[in-house]
Amino acid sequence: MIVRLGLIVAASLAAFTVKQLNVRSSKPENEEGTEEDHVTRVTNALQDQEREEEEEKEEVKLISSIINRANDFEEDILPEFEDLLSGVIEFPLPPDKAEKDKVYEIEMANNASELERLRRLVQELEEREVKLEGELLEYYGLKEQESDIVELQRQLKIKTVEIDMLNITINSLQAERKKLLEELTQGGSSKRELEVARNKIKELQRQIQLEASQTKSQLLLLKQQVSGLQVKEEEAARKDAQLEKKLKAVNDLEVAVVELKRQNKELQHEKRELMVKLNAAESRAAELSNMTESDMVAKAKEEVSNLRHANEDLLKQVEGLQMNRFSEVEELVYLRWVNACLRYELRNYQTPQGKLSARDLSKSLSPKSQEKAKQLMLEYAGSERGQGDTDLDSNFSHPSSPGSEDFDNASIDSSTSKYSSLSKKTSLIQKFKKWGKSKDDSSALSSPSRSFSGENEEGTEEDHVTRVTNALQDQEVKADVETQGDFVNSLAAEVRAASFSDINDLVAFVNWLDEELSFLHTHPRFLLLPPKRLQNWPEGKADALREAAFEYQDLMKLENKVSTFIDDPQLPCEAALKKMYSLLEKVEQSVYALLRTRDMAISRYREFGIPVNWLLDSGVVGKIKLSSVQLAKKYMKRVASELDALSGPEKEPAREFLILQGVRFAFRVHQVILGHFFHLLELNTCIILPSTFEVITH
């Protein structure tokens, strides 16, 4: 057993040394070979390794079977063999010595051959064991080579990925190279175009210089003409001033004559009134001279009692009217509250399926039908407001003296209320008239101090009436706001959240807001309420929105009027020029007013989210200025046609006057469109030569 273990250890050491030598010899070969050869060798080695593994498995199975049999053999034979060597085994001895010797020799021969056979078998087994151990060591080496092969495969994959990335970068660089080549070609063409453009610019500069020299000479001629015309204009102005002074003196004299005539008539009327009063005083004095003192006192007491009774009746009627007024206001507030509730329910009402609502109809109608429906709705709303919401403040809207016509009109207007009686009103009017006449008669006999006190009493009565009227109006507005508070709050929220990028959307919003506010019965008074009465209403933003919308609409109307102006050739020249001149004055007033307040308006509108592009020169103002250029062209054409019509030396003053008017008009247009000089060059300015009066347009 010791020998066998020693042989096994020696075989393992030999296999290990052989493996190390093989590994060392394979490393320089692998280093010298290329990667492709290495890959092929690795794949071949893997295939050989798989085949060797299969062979090793078969050999291991075979060796295991042999070893098992050898172990069994050793277990059976080796003890006997040892016993034989040690002489322990006892052989039966024959009785005869010769036979014993023969048997002994035979047994010894058999034992020697068997021993030799066993030795050979042991040697073969040991050699097989050494071989298997070497193969096992080679198997372990192949396993280590397999791990190296896996690492090499991983490195190979990494290299392939790097190669793919490099290919991608190469393709991208090639594409960039193509783009750069194309850009180089385009740059060459653009360079040539740039040179051509530079040449054109140089030619245009030469032409501009030539035209500038020509225009300078023409401007010098125009300046000379203008200076001459200015001298003539100054002379005409002096003459006009003298004429105006004379006309003013004549007018003053006429005014003085008219004033004297008026004073004469007033004196005549005063004379007549004094004569009437003198006659009345004489007749009254005659009556008083005939009457006794007791009769005068009785008559005065009778008048005083009549006045007291009339005053008491009037106070009772006024109290009754006030009670009727308060009951009417209460009923009106209740009706408006019911109306608001119904409107709120109708707004929140959902139509059942299969039926169309007003909103669905408004969406499905054509534009013309929508306009007609909207007009009918507005007419219906107006008629409903006219029938249901009469002006209850008409009783106190025009306070004045009882005997005046304003009082009669106010009383007649108040009689149209649906909650008052016509007969009571007419009787009340007649009593007021009688009371006014009796008061006038009594005031004619009173002293000046009493008349002065009467005027003070009338003033206090008027103040009282106005205070009552304002209080009733405030109560009505307050009741309207309380009953329709949700509606007002929703409109206020819409106004606060309003923000626009287009001015047309703002105009549509303002129109919608006015339509919604028109549903309030007290709409005009609602807009005039002080801010402290409506804390939730964004008054500043609402006013800014309405102001911007109206200003934009006015400017658009003016621009449309100027751009669509058509000069009627059948109209006389003077009337046509005046028409265009008045239109230019409107443009000047609008543009200058806008320019004065534009900066403040822009800052204010931006604060409230209102678009301001239309206020700039590129917006509506620019359109108006361009339209004024077209108007100036039409003016110059009309002047030129009139100059062509005027011929002869006797028409020269008229021609010069027309020229002066054209220059003035062009200068004013230039002032209006200052800042748009390049558009001004498009104006066909009329240049009139002094010698031939020939019109040259450039």
- The pLDDT tens digits for 547-586 are 888 888 888 888 888 888 888 788 888 888 888 888 888 8
Q: Which two tokens stand for residue 371?
A: 């306009």
Residue 212: the pLDDT is 85
Q: Is the pLDDT of residue 532 over 80?
A: no
Query: Between 626 and 78, where is the model more confident?
Result: 626
Please measure the distance between the N-terminal and C-terminal CA atoms of the chain and give it in whole angstroms. 133
Q: Is the pLDDT of residue 543 over 50?
A: yes
Q: Is the pLDDT of residue 422 over 50?
A: no
Q: Is the pLDDT of residue 617 over 60?
A: yes
Q: Which two tokens stand for residue 398?
A: 């025009």
Q: Is the pLDDT of residue 531 over 80?
A: no
Lowest mean pLDDT segment, chosen from 176-190, 364-378, 466-480: 364-378
In the predicted model, what is the mean pLDDT of residues 333-362? 61
* Contact indicator for 576, 638 with CB cutoff of 8 Å: yes
Confidence bin at 423 (pLDDT 50/70/90) = very low
Run of H or E including 695: strand 695-697
Residue 247: the pLDDT is 83
- pLDDT tens column, 650-670: 777 777 788 887 888 888 887
Residue 178: the pLDDT is 92
* Contact indicator for 51, 59 with CB cutoff of 8 Å: no
| CA angle (480, 482, 486) in 5-degree steps | 105
- Separation of alpha carbons 350 and 419, rounded Å: 36
- Separation of alpha carbons 144 and 150, rounded Å: 10
**Residues 6+ positions from 537 with CB-CB distance below 8 Å:** 488, 492, 531
* Contact indicator for 614, 698 with CB cutoff of 8 Å: no
Lowest mean pLDDT segment, chosen from 392-406, 430-444, 468-482, 580-594: 392-406
Looking at every residue in the chain, the average pLDDT score rounds to 69
Q: Which two tokens stand for residue 363?
A: 């969406």
Q: Is the pLDDT of residue 426 over 60?
A: no
Residue 538: the pLDDT is 80
Residue 539 DSSP SS3: helix
In the predicted model, what is the mean pLDDT of residues 219-226? 86
Residue 33 DSSP SS3: coil
Residue 56: the pLDDT is 67
Lowest mean pLDDT segment, chosen from 232-241, 471-480, 605-614: 471-480
Q: Is the pLDDT of residue 371 over 90?
A: no
- Separation of alpha carbons 405 and 427, rounded Å: 17
For every residue of 327-360, DSSP letters joined together read HHHHHHHHHHHHHHHHHHHHHHPPPPTT---HHH
Query: Between 141 and 470, where is the model more confident?
Result: 141
Q: Is the pLDDT of residue 486 over 80?
A: no
In the predicted model, what is the mean pLDDT of residues 4-16? 62
Sign, Cα dihedral of 159, 161, 164, 166: negative
Q: What percent of the chain has a predicted confidence (pLDDT) above 90?
A: 4
Residue 447 DSSP SS3: coil
Most confident of 198-202, 224-228, 233-237, 340-344: 198-202
Closest by Cα among 99, 101, 104 to 89: 104
From the CA atom positions of the chain, what is the Rg in Å?
63
Q: Count Cβ atoms below 10 Å from residue 241 Cβ, excluding itself.
A: 10
Q: Is the pLDDT of residue 400 over 60?
A: no
Q: Is the pLDDT of residue 361 over 80?
A: no
Residue 667: the pLDDT is 82
**Residues 6+ positions from 474 with CB-CB distance below 8 Å:** 533
Q: What percent of the chain has a predicted confidence (pLDDT) above 70?
A: 60
Helix axes 573-607, 620-645, angle to 10 degrees: 170
- Separation of alpha carbons 337 and 478, rounded Å: 12
Query: Between 156 and 485, where is the model more confident?
Result: 156
Q: Which two tokens stand for residue 532?
A: 């402290």
Quickly count helices (H) and strands (E) in the chain. Answer: 17, 2
The Cα diameter of the chain in Å comes to 226
| CA angle (183, 184, 186) in 5-degree steps | 60
Run of H or E including 688: strand 686-688
Confidence bin at 36 (pLDDT 50/70/90) = low
93 DSSP 8-state letter: P
Residue 166: the pLDDT is 93
Residue 59: the pLDDT is 62
Query: Between 470 and 270, where is the model more confident?
Result: 270
* Contact indicator for 344, 487 with CB cutoff of 8 Å: yes
Q: Is the pLDDT of residue 356 over 90?
A: no
* Amino acid in the structure at residue 430: Q
Q: Is the pLDDT of residue 194 over 60?
A: yes
- Separation of alpha carbons 687 and 217, rounded Å: 11
Query: Between 50 and 418, where is the model more confident?
Result: 50
- Separation of alpha carbons 337 and 343, rounded Å: 10
* Contact indicator for 564, 625 with CB cutoff of 8 Å: no
- pLDDT tens column, 278-331: 877 887 777 777 777 777 778 778 888 888 888 888 888 888 777 777 777 777
Query: Between 79 and 454, where is the model more confident?
Result: 79
**Residues 6+ positions from 337 with CB-CB distance below 8 Å:** 483
For the entire predicted model, the pTM comes to: 0.32
Q: Is the pLDDT of residue 468 over 80?
A: no
Residue 686 DSSP SS3: strand
Burial state string for 385-396 with b = 16 or more CB within 10 A and e = fewer than 16? eeeeebebbbbb
Q: Length of the chain in residues, anyone?
A: 698
Residue 226: the pLDDT is 86
* C-alpha 40, offset from chain centre: 72
